[in-house]
Amino acid sequence: MAGVWPVRDGAGAARGRRRGTMDPPAVPPEEPAPMPSEPRQRTPLIAGRNQLAVFTAVVCVLSVAAAVVSFAKGYWVGVIWVLLAGLSSNMTWFYVRRSRAARDREQRPAE
């Protein structure tokens, strides 16, 4: 009987149903929306291959700010923020160099 909704008798009481459950709403099925002829092109906020480089640069700046605030308040947790800033800085340079190398490979004429 799983998946079968209970039958209501004339008084409106449901037979064979647990307390607190509800009947499904009586909504007619809808037609699906027509598909567009061409999919919308999503324009990225940062175009190209530098998205990860920009993201890691933002993480670096934010972690430096967090380290400054931590050390200003006298917390030693700022050491972890400094380590995160160093890691994200290295990642930023890695992604920048990788995107430059890929761009140079594309622009180099085929021999």
Q: Which residues contact 95 (CB under 8 A, 6 or more apart)?
A: 49, 50, 52, 53, 56
Q: Residues 84-98: what's their mean pLDDT?
A: 95
Domain membership flag for residue 81: yes
pTM: predicted TM-score of the whole model, two decimal places: 0.56
Domain that holds residue 69: 48-104
Domain membership flag for residue 56: yes
Domain membership flag for residue 43: no
Determine the pLDDT at residue 18.
Answer: 57
- Burial class for 63, CB neighbours closer than 10 Å (0-12, 13-18, 19+): buried
Least confident among 15-24, 45-54, 56-65, 97-106:
15-24
Domain membership flag for residue 111: no
Domain membership flag for residue 10: no
- H-helix segments, the chain: 51-72, 78-107
Domain membership flag for residue 17: no
Question: Domain tally for the chain?
Answer: 1
Domain membership flag for residue 30: no
